[in-house]
Copies of this chain bind each other. A is one copy, B any other.
Amino acid sequence: MSKLINNKTEIVADFMRGLKQSHPDLDVDIENRVVYRKTPAVGDKVALVSGGGSGHEPLHSGFVGLGMLDAACMGEVFTSPTPQQIVRAIEKVSTSAGVLLIVKNYAGDIMNFEIAAERAERNGIKVRSVTIDDDVAGGKLPSDGGRGMGLTVFAEKILGAAAENGMSLDGLCELGQDLRTRGRSMGIGMSSCTHPVAGVPTFELGEDEIEVGIGIHGEPGWRRARAGSAQDTAKLLVESILAELAAPEQSSFIVLVNGMGGTPLIELYVMAGEIHRELIERGHSVDRYLVGSHITSLEMAGCSLTLLQSDAESLKYWDAPVSTPALNWGVAA
């Protein structure tokens, strides 16, 4: 399958140009691969910076704007950004209240953000990090813990709203840690995807096979299984997550039914219906749904489920106004 690209090593720059043209509220520093708000946040709001490899769009660049991120740094496709890029992003938006980094738990991201944070702090900027590691991975977690998955979207929204609301850097770190304990994800894949430079699909699946416990890089998962119905898949995801989440009886959730990029919306809503049923059957309830392709693996087919135990605070920040390319609500014209 061909791709809508020009020079395959310049995809990220070309993407950023299109993003800037399409969204007048955003600005981009193409050389340093930073997407940031054109109008910086006012006052001493803590600045939120996230980033990672590209190929997961709309994450993270599509979540830059009022009520979410102040800047996103974009690595090459599936490759963590480098410390200098991250430092540039931090410098672009840092305020006296400090900078919070939201880092997905992948070896590369962890190390590059770690080095960047050290360097920015050496330059006198107050930097703290929250690591998102919500993936239950479909099996036994390795020692590094779960990968960062859909909880990243929730963290960016909720921490973004809290920051907009004046929460301090320490407060945000605490809230971030709290979200970590209350959210888990799991994904399944029904196809791989083609890294634009590699040019061939990362792996091939048989007609009736799925990969269980995938990450967000078009990689194979913890195990291969026979494809079941949407109901079977919903049950698998809900059970696997609840086994790790230790949610009390009658918990209520914010739910992300996420497409990996190549799965049509019609299937995601079918899944939402089945997930709803699975949760209700277990005595739980759902406060909010987000259904769509928000953290993707290029054109991979499949979906992931994220459950975040909700409370008054998270719901308040979830419902708070947001104006970004990918999430937009509550802001008067």
Contacts and interface: CB of A to CB of B under 8 A. Distances in A.
Contact of A331 (B208, B264, B290, B330): B330
Given A299-B263, A329-B333, A332-B331, A291 B18 contact: yes
Residue of A266, A291, A332 ringed by the most chain B CB atoms within 10 A = A266
A14 B210 CA distance: 21
Interface stretch (A135-143, A172-180, A243-251, A269-277): A269-277
Give the number of copies in the complex.
2
B2 A207 contact: yes
A57 B303 CA distance: 16
Nearest to A286: B21
B261 A264 contact: yes
Interface residues of A, number: 72
Contacts of A207: 1-2
Interface stretch (A125-133, A229-237, A306-314): A229-237
Contact of A264 (B191, B257, B298): B298
Contacts of A111: none
A16 B319 CA distance: 24
Contacts of A11: 266, 270
B273 A21 contact: yes
A5 B264 CA distance: 11
A198 interface: no
Nearest to A290: B22
Interface string A1-43: 1111110000100111111011100000000000000000000
Interface in A278-302: 286, 289-291, 293, 296, 298-299, 301
Please classify the interface of chain A as helix (H, G, I), strand (E, B), loop, or mixed, using the class held by over half of its residues: mixed
A147 to B, nearest CB: 19
A163 interface: no
A229 B319 CA distance: 41
B269 A22 contact: yes
Nearest to A3: B267
A276 to B, nearest CB: 5
Contacts of A299: 262-264, 301
A18 B266 CA distance: 9
A223 to B, nearest CB: 15
A192 B185 CA distance: 31
Given A21-B286, A273-B17, A2 B210 contact: yes
Given A57-B264, A330-B331, A15 B270 contact: yes
Nearest to A272: B18
Contacts of A4: 190, 230, 233, 263, 267-268, 270-271, 303
A267 to B, nearest CB: 4
A329 B274 CA distance: 29
B330 A19 contact: no
A276 B233 contact: no
Given A230-B6, A263-B4, A276 B332 contact: no
Given A18-B276, A301-B299, A328-B329, A265 B58 contact: yes
Contacts of A191: 1
7 contacts: A5-B270, A15-B266, A57-B265, A193-B264, A320-B333, A321-B332, A321-B333
